[in-house]
Amino acid sequence: MPEEEGKVLSGNEVSKEIRESLKRRVADLHKKLPNFRPGLAIVQVGGREDSNVYIRMKMKAATEIGIAAEHIQFPKTITETELLAKIEHLNMDSKYHGIIVQMPLDSVNKIDSHLITDSVSPDKDVDGLNTVNEGKIAVGDLSGFLPCTPSGVLELIKKTGTLISGKEVVVLGRSRIVGTPAAELLKWNNGTVTVCHSKTQNLKDITARADILVVAIGQPEMVKGDWVKKGAVVIDCGINAVPDATKKVGQKLVGDVDFEECKKVASFITPVPGGVGPMTVAMLMANTVQSSEAFAELLMKTHWPMTFLPLKYQSPIPSDIDISRAHEHKNISILTHEVGLLAGEVSLYGHKKAKISLNVLDRMKEHDVGKYVVVAGITPTPLGEGKSTTLIGLAQALMAHKTRNTIATMRQPSQGPTFGIKGGAAGGGYSQVIPMEDFNLHLTGDIHAVTAANNLLAAQLDARIFHEATQADQALYDRLVPTSHGVRKFSAIQQRRLDRLGIEKTDPNTLTVEEIAKFARLNIDPTKVVWQRVMDINDRYLRKITIGQSPTEKNFTRTESFSISVASEIMAILALATSLEDMKQRFAKMVVAYSRTGVPITADDLGMTGALMVLMKDAIEPTMMQTLEGTPVLIHAGPFANIAHGCNSILADKIALKLVGKDGFVVTEAGFGSDIGMEKFFNIKCRASGIKPDAVVLVATVRALKMHGGGPAVVPGLPLKDEYTQENLQLVEQGLCNLVKHIDNGKKFGLPVVVSINVHKDDTAAEHEIIKKAAMEAGAYACVVSNHWAEGGKGAVDLADALIDACNQPSDFKFLYDLDLTIEEKINKIAKEMYGAGTVDFAAKVREAMRLYAEKGYSKLPICMAKTAASLTGDPNIKGAPTGFRIFVNDIFLSAGAGFIVPMIGEISRMPGLPTRPAIFDIDLCTETGEILGLF
């Protein structure tokens, strides 16, 4: 009877089973996330044909399974530095869940292949060749990606039914790619492993003892039948080309094992080809699916695994900056990971803050959004009533104490108030953003970008006026459209101007004399320039200046006014843009001046749109920081709350709403009281974003209500009068009318209003009770005493509970007015319903401007009222909640790019001035420690 031969262990059959299983797993992923598909990047340098064969095999296998594989081929001339940069781009791209670099690298330049494989992110290293993944295997951590060939070897052994545990295993070969990791895998599967190599003595004796023999030595048919133990499992990882005259190609493929001899001894043996080879590809696909499943799990995660920072309470409560410095922050990269952001979506600015890419919105476009809450206030004292502090305290309570995914979104503060009198805007006490120095100073430079963009546009505007005044039509045209290297053509932005003018030509040499004049001459009226230069400091002497006094400007002088940077229309656009393209379209439409015939002159007419985009391309990304308790905050944009709409950016809110998920909360802030900030938040910001809010948190203080009840003036820098530091129920009672009006304002938009009484140390329980009773009688959903300044999130837990309940109620959000109303009708609607006015009068120049805006097609824009925040009326000295008063609109201007019209009620300065004693006197830098002193 002939001796029974070993069973051939077909890698083709096992790999087919694995691929079918992977196909089902990918289909399951697609059911959970319909628009999700695993992605694999196969990187090749050069074009070796043997590499091409392997790449085609991988591409075919990926396609069959449902993996989107992309072959990314670079030329032989690529340098090591360039290749590393390309791989880093792939690491950051969320559509790729696996990256492999096909070896060998076919380059004319010297490239360290080990450095290249190590440059692939361990999270995407589906080849398992990164040192991090190799190191994990060495210490028995099999949670990373296992190298494909050794992993395939393990699967084949398991397929035989052979128990590895306790068996004597010999691995012949110690290469980094196969031998060494195979030995480690078998060791951690409890095999007793011996690794043999070229220096091993008595090799045949050792292999003959093996129950399992894995051969990866690179020598054709080296292992003979007498090297193999009877009944052993033999896995041949080798593939070698040897001469064979019987083959058309003159050679055949064989392994490192003499198959014909060894199959007579082994119980199982892998063939070559058709053994380990197909398994390598299958395990590569398995790693890619594993990676994509981990990524999908991240996408579907509904609760953040967040670590919170304990508060270090002190008594008496120290200054804000001392509290900030007493608390260590988390590394911002940890926080961004906790909230589900990917590495490629985060640009780190040190370890305290990070820019967040707008790509998050594309990646998460199918995700549900959370609850959207705006924090507003009653009419404040000059000291402010703590909206920012309430915002942060509430966010800390929701996230750190109620474990609801929560992000606070805030404006970036201007340096004007920081160095002036108001101070910073990071919150206060134990409810603030840290580190507060970073928050209140340069942050990530967005305001500086706004300043540069604004002033570049101003420079181009004045330069164009000068050049048109000093050149004839033809000379002006020739300079605008010069011949360069023998070619003359219009730039893209010039072609857009031609299209607007109805000149259907693309060759600059074909324009007629009339067309040249029409194209080249904007004919700007210097007395009708509406674009102002800006600076991010308070400087009263820039409120009115004369420019152009140098002899080189040939007496073309004009009067100019500076604004503070946050009053720039570019800042308002940054806050209202919904995408890069939307920002570009808004920049293009900005009206900077009018021609002598009354035609609006836009930034696009001046050729500025592209340049503005380049300056603002990074500023459009919001910045992430954290609260004292380690919860996330997104800071972005800071439009002036008087002259613009006073809210943080739409993009920050949209990113936050996606990140928190359907059970989470995004808590944001509107500038000043409900009459100014909240009204604009709803009618301008929510209209532009399309986001429906869920509730209003209205901040009130005993101090402000006493002021509205007839208390003495509250003056920054001076001690509060006794009326504010001692219980006075009568003053509180008399001032409640202001609170009631603001509650009514919130209810007009169809939303539940939760009143938060922001506790100050001199308040009494009796004063709080009066406020609570009045708020509930006025229709507030809830009224809660909140002590977040002194206690952080713990002090705002009751407020968080009330807000959660309020957001679970049905809401009927609606805008205050329809855009189809006339400009005058919309102004009347706001003045009468939000302020309580009886009549609205308009200056003659305002009526003429409204007529012009309607004629030019701007009448359907929303209204952004510029009014004092110190009173419901136009007079800052009138407190309480008067009715039937007169509002006078003395001026009006257009922000066509931002998309609103600004009526002016009273004198609203766009450039604040420094007081007699600004905060500057207290601010210093310790040269020994580098600490900022006296900021707050």
**Which of the residues are catalytic?**
58, 102, 127
**296: three-class secondary structure by DSSP:** helix
Nearest to 799 by CA among 814, 775, 783: 783
The torsion angles phi and psi of 45, rounded to 5 degrees, stand at -110, 125
Contact yes or no for 478/586 (Cβ under 8 A): no
Q: Helices marked H in 471-525 — which ranges?
A: 473-480, 492-501, 513-520
How far is residue 924's CA from residue 815's CA, in Å, rounded to a whole number? 47
* CA dihedral over 490, 492, 497, 501, signed as positive or negative: positive
Question: From CA 347, how far away is CA 341, in angstroms rounded?
Answer: 11
Distance CA 125, CA 188 (A): 21
Q: Rounded to a whole number, what is the distance in angstroms from the first to the last CA of the chain?
A: 97
Amino acid letter, residue 117: T
Q: Residue 438 and residue 353: Cα distance in Å, rounded?
A: 8
Q: Which two tokens stand for residue 158?
A: 């398991």
Closest CA to 864 of 827, 889, 838: 827
* Strand-pair partners of 372: 666
Distance of CA 285 to the CA centre of its chain: 31
The partner residues of 743 in beta bridges, in order of sequence, read none
Which amino acid, one-letter code, is at 931? E
Contacts of 460 (CB under 8 A, 6+ apart): 606, 607, 608
CA distance linking residue 814 with residue 683, whole number of Å: 9
Alpha-carbon distance of 578 to 934, in angstroms, equals: 38
CA atoms of 46 and 706, how far apart (whole Å):
78
Long-range contacts for 540-545 (Cβ within 8 Å, ≥24 apart)?
540/911, 540/912, 540/913, 540/914, 542/911, 543/909, 543/911, 543/913
Q: Tell me the backbone φ, ψ of residue 299, rounded to 5 degrees.
A: -65, -35
In this structure, the strands spanning 545-547 and 623-627 are unpaired
Question: What are phi and psi for residue 502, nearest 5 degrees?
Answer: 80, 20
Helix (H, G, I), strand (E, B) or coil at 257: strand
Which residue matches tokens 């904007």? 522
d(C-alpha 361, C-alpha 581), whole Å: 14
Length of the chain: 936
Which residues, including other chains, have CB under 8 Å from residue 568's CB and lie 6 or more apart? 450, 451, 454, 534
C-alpha distance from residue 707 to each of 385, 609, 765 (Å): 12, 47, 18
List C-alpha distances in Å: 256 to 168, 234, 272.
20, 11, 9
Kindly state the tokens that stand for 884: 């039937």
Cβ neighbours of residue 334 closer than 8 Å, sequence gap 6 or more: 307
Rounded to the nearest 10 degrees, the angle between the axes of helix 11-32 and helix 49-65 is: 50
Collapsed DSSP state (helix, strand, coil) of residue 775: helix
E-only strand ranges, 443-492: 483-484, 487-488
396, 619, 859 from 119: Cα distances, Å: 38, 29, 56
Backbone dihedral angles phi then psi of residue 213, each to the nearest 5 degrees:
-120, 120
Residues 6+ apart with CB under 8 A from 732: 702, 705, 706, 709, 767, 770, 771
